[in-house]
Amino acid sequence: MRAVMYRGFGDEPELVEVDRPACPPRGAVVRVRATGLCRSDWHGWMGHDAGIALPHVPGHEFAGEIAELGSEVADDSGWAVGDRVTAPFICACGRCAECLAGNEQVCDAQRQPGFTHWGSFAEYVVVDEAALNLIRLPDSLGFVEAASLGCRFATAYRAIITRGRLHPGEQVAVHGCGGVGLSAIMIAVAAGVLVYGVDVSDAALAAAAELGATPIRGGDGAAERVREASGGGVDLSVDAFGSPATSFASVRSLKKRGRHVQIGLMLADDATAAMPMDAVIDGELEILGSHGMAAHEYPDMLGAVASEAFRPIELVGRTITLDAVPEALAAMGRAGGAGSGMTVVEL
Protein backbone atom coordinates (compact mmCIF):
# COMPACT_ATOMS: atom_id res chain seq x y z
CA MET A 1 0.00 0.00 0.00
CA ARG A 2 1.00 3.66 -0.31
CA ALA A 3 1.80 5.46 2.93
CA VAL A 4 3.48 8.63 4.18
CA MET A 5 6.41 7.66 6.41
CA TYR A 6 9.18 9.42 8.33
CA ARG A 7 12.28 7.57 9.45
CA GLY A 8 13.55 10.12 11.96
CA PHE A 9 11.87 12.81 14.06
CA GLY A 10 11.88 16.01 12.04
CA ASP A 11 13.17 14.23 8.94
CA GLU A 12 11.29 14.89 5.72
CA PRO A 13 8.31 12.51 5.39
CA GLU A 14 8.13 10.47 2.18
CA LEU A 15 5.40 8.76 0.20
CA VAL A 16 6.49 5.11 0.08
CA GLU A 17 5.22 1.61 -0.71
CA VAL A 18 4.91 -0.61 2.39
CA ASP A 19 3.17 -3.86 3.28
CA ARG A 20 -0.52 -3.70 4.09
CA PRO A 21 -1.02 -4.19 7.87
CA ALA A 22 -2.02 -7.58 9.27
CA CYS A 23 -5.43 -7.78 10.89
CA PRO A 24 -5.41 -8.44 14.67
CA PRO A 25 -7.65 -11.34 15.78
CA ARG A 26 -10.02 -8.97 17.65
CA GLY A 27 -9.50 -6.00 15.33
CA ALA A 28 -10.19 -4.77 11.82
CA VAL A 29 -8.36 -3.30 8.85
CA VAL A 30 -10.06 -0.21 7.44
CA ARG A 31 -9.60 1.01 3.85
CA VAL A 32 -8.96 4.71 4.39
CA ARG A 33 -11.04 7.02 2.21
CA ALA A 34 -10.32 10.29 4.02
CA THR A 35 -8.06 11.31 6.89
CA GLY A 36 -7.52 14.60 8.68
CA LEU A 37 -4.20 16.38 9.07
CA CYS A 38 -3.95 17.45 12.71
CA ARG A 39 -1.46 19.40 14.79
CA SER A 40 -1.08 16.25 16.92
CA ASP A 41 0.46 14.59 13.85
CA TRP A 42 2.98 17.45 13.68
CA HIS A 43 3.82 17.01 17.38
CA GLY A 44 4.43 13.29 16.80
CA TRP A 45 6.66 14.00 13.80
CA MET A 46 8.71 16.43 15.89
CA GLY A 47 9.34 13.75 18.55
CA HIS A 48 7.03 15.11 21.23
CA ASP A 49 5.29 11.75 21.80
CA ALA A 50 7.34 9.13 23.61
CA GLY A 51 5.14 6.28 22.35
CA ILE A 52 6.13 6.57 18.68
CA ALA A 53 8.61 4.02 17.32
CA LEU A 54 10.53 4.70 14.10
CA PRO A 55 10.02 4.40 11.20
CA HIS A 56 6.49 5.66 11.51
CA VAL A 57 3.30 6.36 9.52
CA PRO A 58 1.23 9.12 11.19
CA GLY A 59 -2.48 9.93 10.89
CA HIS A 60 -5.32 9.35 13.36
CA GLU A 61 -8.51 11.03 12.05
CA PHE A 62 -9.97 8.74 9.44
CA ALA A 63 -13.06 7.34 7.80
CA GLY A 64 -13.41 4.50 5.34
CA GLU A 65 -14.70 0.98 4.79
CA ILE A 66 -13.99 -2.26 6.61
CA ALA A 67 -11.57 -4.25 4.44
CA GLU A 68 -10.99 -7.15 6.84
CA LEU A 69 -12.29 -8.37 10.19
CA GLY A 70 -10.24 -10.35 12.70
CA SER A 71 -10.83 -14.06 13.22
CA GLU A 72 -12.09 -13.46 16.79
CA VAL A 73 -14.62 -10.73 15.93
CA ALA A 74 -17.93 -12.44 16.67
CA ASP A 75 -20.27 -13.19 13.78
CA ASP A 76 -23.05 -11.41 15.71
CA SER A 77 -20.97 -8.25 16.23
CA GLY A 78 -23.00 -6.49 13.55
CA TRP A 79 -19.96 -5.65 11.44
CA ALA A 80 -19.23 -6.79 7.90
CA VAL A 81 -16.63 -6.11 5.24
CA GLY A 82 -17.66 -3.01 3.27
CA ASP A 83 -19.36 -1.22 6.18
CA ARG A 84 -18.67 2.54 6.29
CA VAL A 85 -16.93 3.37 9.56
CA THR A 86 -14.79 5.68 11.62
CA ALA A 87 -13.17 5.19 15.03
CA PRO A 88 -12.09 7.38 17.94
CA PHE A 89 -8.41 8.26 17.94
CA ILE A 90 -8.22 6.52 21.32
CA CYS A 91 -9.08 2.86 20.78
CA ALA A 92 -9.98 1.32 24.12
CA CYS A 93 -9.26 -2.18 25.42
CA GLY A 94 -12.71 -2.72 26.97
CA ARG A 95 -11.28 -4.62 29.95
CA CYS A 96 -9.42 -2.19 32.24
CA ALA A 97 -11.02 -0.42 35.22
CA GLU A 98 -11.56 2.83 33.27
CA CYS A 99 -13.23 1.03 30.37
CA LEU A 100 -15.48 -0.93 32.69
CA ALA A 101 -16.52 2.39 34.25
CA GLY A 102 -17.42 3.79 30.80
CA ASN A 103 -14.35 6.02 30.51
CA GLU A 104 -12.82 4.49 27.38
CA GLN A 105 -11.28 7.84 26.40
CA VAL A 106 -8.75 7.39 29.24
CA CYS A 107 -8.30 3.61 28.83
CA ASP A 108 -5.29 2.28 30.74
CA ALA A 109 -4.26 0.14 27.74
CA GLN A 110 -5.36 2.43 24.92
CA ARG A 111 -4.10 2.08 21.37
CA GLN A 112 -3.85 5.13 19.11
CA PRO A 113 -3.47 4.79 15.34
CA GLY A 114 -0.72 7.13 14.23
CA PHE A 115 0.99 7.00 17.61
CA THR A 116 1.16 3.55 19.22
CA HIS A 117 1.12 1.95 15.75
CA TRP A 118 1.06 3.03 12.11
CA GLY A 119 -1.73 5.40 11.27
CA SER A 120 -4.04 6.57 8.53
CA PHE A 121 -1.76 8.50 6.19
CA ALA A 122 -1.95 5.27 4.26
CA GLU A 123 -4.41 3.27 2.22
CA TYR A 124 -5.15 0.91 5.14
CA VAL A 125 -5.11 1.30 8.93
CA VAL A 126 -5.66 -1.10 11.85
CA VAL A 127 -8.39 -0.60 14.45
CA ASP A 128 -7.93 -2.71 17.58
CA GLU A 129 -10.89 -4.22 19.44
CA ALA A 130 -13.18 -3.70 16.47
CA ALA A 131 -16.43 -4.60 18.23
CA LEU A 132 -15.83 -1.83 20.78
CA ASN A 133 -14.15 0.89 18.74
CA LEU A 134 -15.71 0.88 15.27
CA ILE A 135 -18.39 3.51 14.73
CA ARG A 136 -20.96 3.17 11.95
CA LEU A 137 -21.33 6.21 9.72
CA PRO A 138 -24.79 7.52 8.77
CA ASP A 139 -25.44 7.16 5.04
CA SER A 140 -25.81 10.93 4.78
CA LEU A 141 -22.29 11.57 6.11
CA GLY A 142 -19.50 11.70 3.53
CA PHE A 143 -16.00 10.41 4.22
CA VAL A 144 -14.39 13.88 4.24
CA GLU A 145 -16.89 15.21 6.78
CA ALA A 146 -16.60 12.02 8.85
CA ALA A 147 -12.80 12.33 8.93
CA SER A 148 -13.15 15.91 10.17
CA LEU A 149 -14.99 14.58 13.22
CA GLY A 150 -12.31 12.09 14.20
CA CYS A 151 -10.19 14.03 16.66
CA ARG A 152 -10.85 17.73 16.62
CA PHE A 153 -14.63 17.96 16.39
CA ALA A 154 -15.25 15.01 18.73
CA THR A 155 -12.72 16.38 21.21
CA ALA A 156 -14.32 19.83 21.05
CA TYR A 157 -17.82 18.37 21.40
CA ARG A 158 -16.96 16.52 24.60
CA ALA A 159 -14.92 19.43 25.94
CA ILE A 160 -17.78 21.92 25.52
CA ILE A 161 -20.80 19.76 26.27
CA THR A 162 -19.59 17.12 28.74
CA ARG A 163 -16.46 18.42 30.44
CA GLY A 164 -17.32 22.10 30.13
CA ARG A 165 -20.95 21.58 31.23
CA LEU A 166 -22.16 24.43 29.05
CA HIS A 167 -25.42 26.03 30.24
CA PRO A 168 -27.84 28.41 28.50
CA GLY A 169 -26.97 32.07 28.97
CA GLU A 170 -23.28 31.49 29.61
CA GLN A 171 -20.36 33.08 27.78
CA VAL A 172 -17.51 31.10 26.23
CA ALA A 173 -13.99 32.02 25.12
CA VAL A 174 -12.04 29.81 22.72
CA HIS A 175 -8.30 30.49 22.63
CA GLY A 176 -6.88 29.24 19.33
CA CYS A 177 -9.11 29.16 16.25
CA GLY A 178 -7.61 26.30 14.29
CA GLY A 179 -9.47 23.07 13.57
CA VAL A 180 -10.38 22.14 17.14
CA GLY A 181 -11.01 25.74 18.14
CA LEU A 182 -13.37 26.42 15.25
CA SER A 183 -15.14 23.16 16.11
CA ALA A 184 -15.62 24.36 19.68
CA ILE A 185 -16.94 27.69 18.40
CA MET A 186 -19.42 25.98 16.06
CA ILE A 187 -20.71 23.78 18.89
CA ALA A 188 -21.02 26.64 21.39
CA VAL A 189 -22.69 28.97 18.89
CA ALA A 190 -25.20 26.22 18.04
CA ALA A 191 -26.04 26.06 21.76
CA GLY A 192 -27.13 29.70 21.58
CA VAL A 193 -24.50 31.26 23.85
CA LEU A 194 -22.14 34.20 23.36
CA VAL A 195 -18.76 33.06 22.08
CA TYR A 196 -15.43 34.88 21.78
CA GLY A 197 -12.80 33.53 19.39
CA VAL A 198 -9.22 34.48 20.34
CA ASP A 199 -6.28 34.19 17.95
CA VAL A 200 -3.25 36.06 16.60
CA SER A 201 -4.08 35.22 12.97
CA ASP A 202 -6.34 37.49 10.92
CA ALA A 203 -7.52 34.52 8.86
CA ALA A 204 -8.40 32.52 11.97
CA LEU A 205 -10.27 35.47 13.49
CA ALA A 206 -12.21 35.91 10.25
CA ALA A 207 -13.13 32.22 10.29
CA ALA A 208 -14.29 32.51 13.93
CA ALA A 209 -16.42 35.55 13.08
CA GLU A 210 -17.98 33.74 10.14
CA LEU A 211 -19.13 31.02 12.53
CA GLY A 212 -20.77 33.58 14.80
CA ALA A 213 -18.06 34.31 17.38
CA THR A 214 -16.87 37.76 18.42
CA PRO A 215 -13.22 37.92 17.32
CA ILE A 216 -10.64 39.07 19.89
CA ARG A 217 -6.97 39.62 19.16
CA GLY A 218 -4.73 37.11 20.91
CA GLY A 219 -1.24 37.64 22.29
CA ASP A 220 -0.31 39.99 25.11
CA GLY A 221 -3.42 41.35 26.83
CA ALA A 222 -5.79 38.76 25.35
CA ALA A 223 -7.30 37.83 28.73
CA GLU A 224 -7.97 41.46 29.57
CA ARG A 225 -9.67 41.98 26.22
CA VAL A 226 -11.91 38.95 26.82
CA ARG A 227 -12.81 40.15 30.31
CA GLU A 228 -13.66 43.62 29.00
CA ALA A 229 -15.78 42.30 26.12
CA SER A 230 -17.65 39.87 28.36
CA GLY A 231 -18.29 42.28 31.20
CA GLY A 232 -15.95 40.74 33.78
CA GLY A 233 -15.02 37.32 32.45
CA VAL A 234 -16.52 34.27 30.76
CA ASP A 235 -18.12 31.22 32.36
CA LEU A 236 -16.22 28.71 30.23
CA SER A 237 -12.86 29.15 28.52
CA VAL A 238 -11.03 26.67 26.34
CA ASP A 239 -7.40 26.50 25.30
CA ALA A 240 -7.72 24.89 21.89
CA PHE A 241 -4.13 25.63 20.83
CA GLY A 242 -1.92 24.32 23.59
CA SER A 243 0.82 26.67 24.79
CA PRO A 244 1.80 28.27 28.09
CA ALA A 245 0.55 31.63 26.80
CA THR A 246 -2.87 30.43 25.58
CA SER A 247 -3.58 28.24 28.62
CA PHE A 248 -2.60 31.05 30.99
CA ALA A 249 -4.77 33.54 29.09
CA SER A 250 -7.68 31.10 29.08
CA VAL A 251 -7.65 30.80 32.87
CA ARG A 252 -7.27 34.57 33.28
CA SER A 253 -10.31 35.09 31.02
CA LEU A 254 -12.67 33.47 33.52
CA LYS A 255 -15.13 35.09 35.89
CA LYS A 256 -15.35 33.73 39.43
CA ARG A 257 -16.43 30.06 39.58
CA GLY A 258 -15.55 29.73 35.90
CA ARG A 259 -14.28 26.61 34.15
CA HIS A 260 -11.15 26.22 32.03
CA VAL A 261 -10.89 23.20 29.71
CA GLN A 262 -7.51 22.25 28.25
CA ILE A 263 -7.87 20.70 24.79
CA GLY A 264 -4.63 21.79 23.11
CA LEU A 265 -1.73 19.43 23.72
CA MET A 266 0.94 20.62 26.14
CA LEU A 267 4.02 18.58 25.32
CA ALA A 268 7.79 18.62 25.82
CA ASP A 269 8.82 21.61 27.97
CA ASP A 270 5.27 23.01 27.86
CA ALA A 271 3.90 19.99 29.75
CA THR A 272 4.73 21.64 33.08
CA ALA A 273 3.61 25.17 32.19
CA ALA A 274 2.77 27.57 35.02
CA MET A 275 -0.84 28.30 35.97
CA PRO A 276 -2.21 31.43 37.70
CA MET A 277 -3.07 29.57 40.88
CA ASP A 278 -3.85 32.82 42.69
CA ALA A 279 -6.81 33.32 40.37
CA VAL A 280 -7.79 29.65 40.65
CA ILE A 281 -7.99 29.88 44.44
CA ASP A 282 -9.47 33.36 44.75
CA GLY A 283 -12.15 32.72 42.15
CA GLU A 284 -12.74 29.01 42.89
CA LEU A 285 -11.98 28.23 39.27
CA GLU A 286 -12.01 24.75 37.79
CA ILE A 287 -9.18 23.45 35.58
CA LEU A 288 -10.33 20.47 33.51
CA GLY A 289 -8.64 18.25 30.97
CA SER A 290 -10.44 16.72 28.00
CA HIS A 291 -8.99 13.82 26.04
CA GLY A 292 -10.96 12.75 22.99
CA MET A 293 -14.31 10.97 23.17
CA ALA A 294 -15.26 7.34 23.67
CA ALA A 295 -16.99 5.43 20.88
CA HIS A 296 -20.19 5.00 22.91
CA GLU A 297 -20.58 8.81 23.05
CA TYR A 298 -20.49 9.29 19.26
CA PRO A 299 -24.18 8.60 18.46
CA ASP A 300 -25.40 11.87 20.03
CA MET A 301 -22.84 13.88 18.08
CA LEU A 302 -23.48 12.01 14.84
CA GLY A 303 -27.22 12.53 15.31
CA ALA A 304 -26.66 16.26 15.69
CA VAL A 305 -24.54 16.31 12.53
CA ALA A 306 -27.12 14.27 10.60
CA SER A 307 -29.85 16.72 11.66
CA GLU A 308 -27.59 19.61 10.57
CA ALA A 309 -27.49 21.13 14.05
CA PHE A 310 -23.81 21.38 13.18
CA ARG A 311 -22.15 21.33 9.77
CA PRO A 312 -18.54 20.23 10.30
CA ILE A 313 -17.96 20.17 6.54
CA GLU A 314 -17.89 23.99 6.75
CA LEU A 315 -14.74 23.69 8.90
CA VAL A 316 -12.79 21.90 6.18
CA GLY A 317 -10.54 24.52 4.67
CA ARG A 318 -9.09 22.31 1.94
CA THR A 319 -8.70 18.75 0.74
CA ILE A 320 -5.39 17.36 -0.53
CA THR A 321 -4.04 14.10 -1.91
CA LEU A 322 -1.73 11.70 -0.08
CA ASP A 323 1.33 12.88 -1.99
CA ALA A 324 0.77 16.41 -0.67
CA VAL A 325 0.89 15.33 2.99
CA PRO A 326 4.67 15.69 3.56
CA GLU A 327 4.67 19.39 2.66
CA ALA A 328 1.38 20.02 4.48
CA LEU A 329 2.73 18.38 7.64
CA ALA A 330 5.92 20.44 7.53
CA ALA A 331 3.91 23.63 6.99
CA MET A 332 2.14 23.18 10.33
CA GLY A 333 5.37 24.17 12.08
CA ARG A 334 5.65 27.45 10.22
CA ALA A 335 3.85 30.61 11.30
CA GLY A 336 0.62 30.79 9.32
CA GLY A 337 1.62 27.69 7.35
CA ALA A 338 -1.32 25.56 8.40
CA GLY A 339 -3.91 28.05 7.19
CA SER A 340 -7.36 28.30 8.76
CA GLY A 341 -9.78 25.42 9.10
CA MET A 342 -9.09 21.72 8.71
CA THR A 343 -7.06 19.98 6.04
CA VAL A 344 -8.44 16.58 5.00
CA VAL A 345 -6.62 14.06 2.80
CA GLU A 346 -8.77 12.20 0.27
CA LEU A 347 -7.63 8.77 -0.88
Write the DSSP string, 168-228.
Answer: TT-EEEEE--SHHHHHHHHHHHHTT-EEEEEES-HHHHHHHHHTTPEEEE-STTHHHHHHH
pLDDT for residue 309:
84
**Is residue 156 domain-resident?**
no
Distance CA 250, CA 177 (A): 13
Number of domains in the chain: 2
**Is residue 111 domain-resident?**
yes
Q: Are residues 70 and 127 in the same domain?
A: yes
**Is residue 157 domain-resident?**
no
Q: Are residues 173 and 117 in the same domain?
A: no
- At residue 244 the predicted structure's pLDDT band, cuts being 50, 70 and 90, is very high
Q: Are residues 280 and 299 in the same domain?
A: no
The bridge status of strand 214-217 relative to strand 194-199 is parallel
Encode pLDDT of 91-136 as tens digits: 999 999 999 999 999 999 999 999 999 999 999 999 999 999 999 9
CA 228 to mean position of chain CA atoms = 30
**Is residue 74 domain-resident?**
yes
**Is residue 236 domain-resident?**
yes
Q: Say if residues 285 and 257 touch (Cβ distance below 8 Å).
A: yes
pLDDT for residue 77:
85
Q: Are residues 130 and 16 in the same domain?
A: yes
Q: What is the mean pLDDT of residues 37-41?
A: 87
Distance CA 343, CA 33 (A): 14
Domain of 218, CATH number, reads 3.40.50.720
Encode pLDDT of 251-272 as tens digits: 999 999 999 999 988 877 888 8
Distance CA 203, CA 4 (A): 29
- Please state which of the ranges 9-23, 220-234, 289-303 shows the lowest mean pLDDT: 289-303
SS (H, E, C) 298-346: HHHHHHHHHCCCCCHHHHEEEEECHHHHHHHHHHCCCCCCCCCCEEEEE
Q: What is the mean pLDDT of residues 42-50?
A: 88
**Is residue 314 domain-resident?**
yes
Burial pattern 173-195, b for ≥16 Cβ within 10 A else e, equals bbbbbbbbbbbbbbbbbbbebbb
pLDDT for residue 341:
66
Q: Are residues 237 and 212 in the same domain?
A: yes
Distance CA 155, CA 158 (A): 5
**Residue at 124: amino acid letter:** Y
User: Does residue 336 surpass a pLDDT of 70?
Assistant: no
Domain of 119, CATH number, reads 3.90.180.10
Q: What is the mean pLDDT of residues 5-14?
A: 94
State which residues form the domain around 143. 2-151+293-346
Q: Are residues 180 and 206 in the same domain?
A: yes
Task: Answer with the residue of higher pLDDT: 342 or 172.
Answer: 172
Percent of the chain residues topping a pLDDT of 90: 75
Domain limit, last residue, from 289, 305, 332? 289
Q: Are residues 283 and 301 in the same domain?
A: no
Task: Answer with the residue of higher pLDDT: 306 or 160.
Answer: 160
pLDDT for residue 332:
83
Domain limit, last residue, from 289, 315, 333? 289
**Stretch (H or E) spanning 295:** none
Number of Cβ within 10 Å of residue 337's Cβ equals 12
Q: Are residues 283 and 302 in the same domain?
A: no
Q: Are residues 77 and 196 in the same domain?
A: no
Q: Are residues 270 and 334 in the same domain?
A: no
User: Does residue 25 surpass a pLDDT of 90?
Assistant: yes
* Secondary structure class of 3 (helix, strand, coil): strand
Instruction: Please tell me what DSSP assigns to residue 314.
Output: G
Q: Are residues 112 and 217 in the same domain?
A: no
Q: Say if residues 13 and 45 touch (Cβ distance below 8 Å).
A: yes
- At residue 338 the predicted structure's pLDDT band, cuts being 50, 70 and 90, is low
Q: Are residues 204 and 103 in the same domain?
A: no
Encode pLDDT of 74-93 as tens digits: 887 889 999 999 999 999 99
Domain limit, last residue, from 289, 312, 334? 289
pLDDT for residue 52:
93
**Is residue 10 domain-resident?**
yes
